[in-house]
Amino acid sequence: MPLTCRGRVRGQEPSRGDVDDALGKFSLTLIDTLDTLVVLNKTKEFEDAVKNVIKDVNLDNDIVVSVFETNIRVLGGLLGGHSVAIMLKEKGEYMQWYSGELLHMAKQLGYKLLPAFNTTSGLPYPRVNLKFGLRSPEARTGTETDTCTACAGTLILEFAALSRFTGTSIFEEYARKALDFLWEKRQRNSNLVGVTINIHTGDWVRKDSGVGAGIDSYYEYLLKAYVLLGDDSFLERFNTHYDAIMRYISQPPLLLDVHIHKPMLNARTWMDSLLAFFPGLQVLKGDIRPAIETHEMLYQVIKKHNFLPEAFTTDFRVHWAQHPLRPEFAESTYFLYKATGDPYYLEVGKTLIENLNKYARVPCGFAAMKDVRTGSHEDRMDSFFLAEMFKYLYLLFADKEDIIFDIEDYIFTTEAHLLPLWLSTTNQTVSKKNTTTEYMELDDSNFEWTCPNTQILFPNDPTYAQSIREPLKNVVDKSCPRGIARVEESFGNGPKPPLRARDFMASNPEHLEILKKMGVSLIHLKDGRVQLVQHAIQAASSLDAEDGLRFMQEMIELSSQQQKEQQLPPRAVQIVSHPFFGRVVLTAGPAQFGMDLSKHNIGTRGFVATSKPYNGCSEITNPEALKEKIALMQRGQCMFAEKARNIQKAGAIGGIVIDDNEGSSSDTAPLFQMAGDGKNTDDIKIPMLFLFNKEGNIILDAIQEYEAVEVLLSDKAKDRDLEMENMDQKSSENDSHRQRSEETSRNQDLDLVSQEPEGEETSEVTHLDVNSDSVSISNQESCITEIHEANIQETESTELDIKSQDQSPTETDSNSNWDNKVQPMESILADWNEDIEAFEMMEKDEL
């Protein structure tokens, strides 16, 4: 926990849900980083760390852990540590006392994981109790029915290595059985696998397929199992899957999830950051061109946001803003440099290091990014950051003499642990037989029986990679979303409809006449809403019908854009005084009143002082202490606006309200917005932000230790230059939000709902379904728009919530990137027809 400067012990901190299943009170970070120390030539520190593991680590804890995470991090860490320990012992200088203690612990842990495999399918349960296994009442697990494909398919390297090191075959046998079952359950027509599977029946629970979260390392381990174990069946399976991936999922430079039964249909319109490993795997296979293309696209996203967001859309908007310092992109960068020798990838690595030091480095380590848009931090530094990120970045820049052993003699696990290649000929307790059924060799170059040697792949032609990258240099900028206030420009290359969606007023008779000409009519509903129905056949002409269709397109675009503004984005509180110097950035909730920090790119900077009374609910008794400072107050006792007025009257230049709920944190709670008091709050001119208890205590603790603490209140973290001269420009989203506020205050809440009109069998009509949180577009016989005529709130901008009637919350960015040229109506309708199926299939995607 790099912000609070202590380790995270499970049970002593508020639960973070499934992510805590990686913690088992077994010194996770210590074990996960053992072989990193040797790669970094810290052999003395490694020797001390191994002694600490042997002396202090207990694996017999009554705690439920993830089988997948424990395997790749702890079992893999122990085996990687053992691998480099015996290597150092052979060299004769270090570890002369070592007698396989780490391997003994790995075997002990392996036996503790075996009860999870007690299923008829051979697929393991997702969790196991380290002390009680599964079956006993004390285990508190064993009732799950589903697991992810990667969870069941990312065991073979560690389990086979454990069997090869110890001569105990059961581990490799269990891991092979799980892989065999997954292969048998692949979708036979597409040769793809789903994300989650029932461990008892083998039925696919989530039928979407990609190369990111939930599946990623399954593909990785098929190829690497062939490299490590030499079993042809693993390469055959990988190549079969790889052919399907390149046929359906790869849409260069994008990698988009599809449905295993309908692989030509995209399952979602965004990508998660875990797929960043895939270019590295393509390098291992020898398919360099698509690896370069996808890597370059990811790098352009990183240059825009400093880090790779946890998920981003096909037009490169932020979908999930977190970044837990994942290493997959650094991994692919290392492999691409090894394959091409292109110094460009050294520049990429330099950018990664500079961003980590500039934005993530905090006094006690490196903090994960809570939001890449604001630069706020999360009190989290996962073990994989030291196990993988440090390793790959060091190896990227290291010369051969910088590493005390030959890295080519080892293969990396998915957690970057080192397993020696000589295991392929040691203790072959499992007979190597081809268990790949119904295997058909494809007529392409996928089925090479050797892996390319990276040292001779592109010996003298680094320009090869450059020629592939060049067309992708501006792919992100070209696809960046238009500002909200520039909807009009999206139709700039063609004739504009006579009425703009944003100008439409249901009570304006001229507007109604124009709509009638375009084939759009109004139906008044009993609940006070109005439906807009467009029948192409009723339009005055075919051109008017197209105008009407474009009007509906604009209505969808307007709805989508305004939906994104429903929530104010998070703000940042940045501690800029000594010794923090801007390194600590706290996620803050915004206020719906006071100064709008998104419109003041320099933010508000000042020293903090505690108000008296602390709740700020009555006249301030220490105004001299608050004058020209940022006041700290506790939540409760009165309205937020009242607190703001009291400290503003006392001369404060800003305010921070700290939650009074002990232990609350932005890590575990949703963003909190401070509402007004129901009255006019225009008199409040100072900025107000809200901090949860944990983040607030970081500032209070800093005051205790350093007395004078200066902070910056802003819409996003600023450059750490003390003079704050080079301020980040506000994002185009903030600009467009402000412009749209002025333009759409007249607009009314839209509710686009589909119905099927009667008696219009020959008319061409488009059917839109927009209810209150997301959007669904379908193509039936009419285009119907419902508009609320009553209960319209006058806010800074109209907030449109769009929701599909039959779906859980799903993507709202996925509709309507309309072409600038005028499309024939048949073409538009055909496009929408495809969207219907896609949206219908996205039912559980976010969940």
Q: pLDDT tens-digit profile of 260-289?
A: 999 998 898 899 999 999 999 999 999 999
DSSP-H helix ranges across 528-592: 542-563
For residue 814, what pLDDT is reported? Answer: 36
Q: Considering 236, 310, 371, 733, which one is annotated as catalytic?
A: 310
Beta bridge partners of 785: 532
Cα angle at 116 between 113 and 117, to 5 degrees?
105
Buried b (16+ CB within 10 A) or exposed e, 764-788: bbbbbbbbebbbbbbbbbbbbbbbe
Nearest Cα to 185, choosing from 129, 147, 133? 147
The alpha helices in 306-382, defined as continuous H runs, are 328-340, 344-355
- Is 310 annotated as catalytic? yes
Which residue among 35, 172, 257, 328 is the active-site one? Answer: 328
- Residue 49, Ramachandran bin (φ over 0: left; ψ between -120 and 50: alpha; else beta): alpha
> Do 333 and 348 form a contact (C-beta atoms < 8 A)?
yes
Choosing from 13, 20, 21, 69, the catalytic residue is: 69
Predicted confidence (pLDDT) per residue in 463-473, tens digit? 778 888 888 87
127-166 tens-digit pLDDT: 999 999 997 788 888 889 999 999 999 999 999 999 999 9
| 90-94, 365-369, 612-616, 737-741: least confident range | 737-741
Residue 478: its pLDDT value, please? 63
Question: What is the gyration radius of the CA atoms in the chain, in angstroms?
Answer: 29
Residue 207: pLDDT over 50? yes
Rounded Cα–Cα distance for residues 780 and 757 (Å): 9
Picking from 210-224, 544-558, 593-607, which range would have the lowest pLDDT averaged per residue?
A: 544-558
Pairing of strands 270-272, 311-313: antiparallel
Residue with tokens 């990679």: 465
Residue 628 pLDDT greater than 90, yes or no: yes
* Arithmetic mean of pLDDT, 836-846: 51
CATH level 3 topology of 571-719? Glucose Oxidase; domain 1 (3.50.30)
Residue 483 region by backbone torsions, left for phi larger than 0, else alpha for psi between -120 and 50, else beta: beta
Beta carbons of 601 and 727 less than 8 angstroms apart: yes
pLDDT tens-place string over residues 182-202 = 999 999 999 999 999 999 999
For the chain, how many helices (H) and strands (E)? Answer: 26, 31
pLDDT band at 821 (very low <50, low <70, confident <90, very high): very low
User: Could you tell me where in the chain the CATH 3.50.30.30 domains are found?
Assistant: 571-719
Task: Give the confidence band of 431 by pLDDT, cuts at 50, 70, 90.
Answer: low
Class of domain 18-268+398-423: mainly alpha
The catalytic position among 47, 158, 216, 835 is 216
Q: What is the structure's pLDDT at 466?
A: 82
Q: Return the closest-CA partner of residue 30 out of 58, 4, 3.
A: 58
pLDDT at 138: 84
Of the pLDDT bands very low, low, confident and very high (cuts 50, 70, 90), residue 720 is low
User: Which segment of 61-75, 409-423, 509-523, 788-802 scores lowest on mean pLDDT?
Assistant: 788-802
Sheet holding 318-320, edge to edge: 270-272, 311-313, 318-320
> 724 is written with which tokens?
């704050």
Cα-based angle 139, 141, 145 (whole degrees, multiple of 5): 150
From the list 724, 845, 825, the residue with the least C-alpha distance to 519 is 825
Rounded to an integer, what distance in angstroms lies between the CA atom of residue 518 and that of residue 499?
A: 10
**Distance in angstroms (rounded) separating the CA atoms of residues 574 and 588:** 10
Residues 799, 801, 806: CA angle, nearest 5 degrees: 175
User: Over the chain, what is the mean pLDDT?
Assistant: 81
Where do you find CATH 1.50.10.10 in the chain? 18-268+398-423
382-412 pLDDT, tens digit per residue, is 999 999 999 999 999 999 999 999 999 999 9
- Render pLDDT for 307-341 as a digit per residue (tens, 0 to 9): 999 999 988 889 999 999 999 999 999 999 999 88
Quick one: pLDDT at residue 744?
A: 39
Band the pLDDT of 430: cuts 50, 70, 90. low
E strands in 602-677? 604-610, 630-634, 654-658
**Strand residue runs (E) in 343-433:** 361-362, 365-366, 368-371, 376-378, 410-412, 418-420
Residues annotated as binding site?
A: 414
Is it the case that residue 486 has pLDDT exceeding 80? no
Q: Distance of CA 347 to CAs 128, 351, 403, 729, 842, Å?
A: 43, 6, 21, 24, 39
Share of the chain above pLDDT 70, in %: 75
Q: Residue 265's CB: how many other CB atoms inside 10 A? A: 15
Give yes or no: 216 in active site: yes
Q: Rounded CA gap, 249 and 171, in Å?
A: 33
Backbone torsion region of residue 519, taken as left when φ is above 0, otherwise alpha when ψ lies between -120 and 50, otherwise beta: left
CB 673 within 8 A of CB 568: yes
Please state, as a whole number, how many other Cβ atoms lie within 10 Å of the Cβ of residue 507: 9
Out of 307-321, 448-462, 680-694, 791-805, least confident range: 791-805
Least confident of 110-124, 354-368, 519-533: 519-533
Token couple for 567: 């929530």
Length of the chain: 847
Report in angstroms the alpha-carbon separations of 498 from 501, 531, 548, 549, 550.
Answer: 10, 20, 9, 12, 10
Q: Which range (207-216, 277-286, 714-723, 773-782) has the least confidence?
A: 773-782
Asked if 686 contacts 594 with a C-beta cutoff of 8 angstroms, the reply is: yes
* 668/744 Cα distance (integer angstroms): 34
Which residues have a Cβ under 8 Å from the Cβ of 707 and sit 6 or more positions away? none
Contact by Cβ (8 Å): 355, 396: no
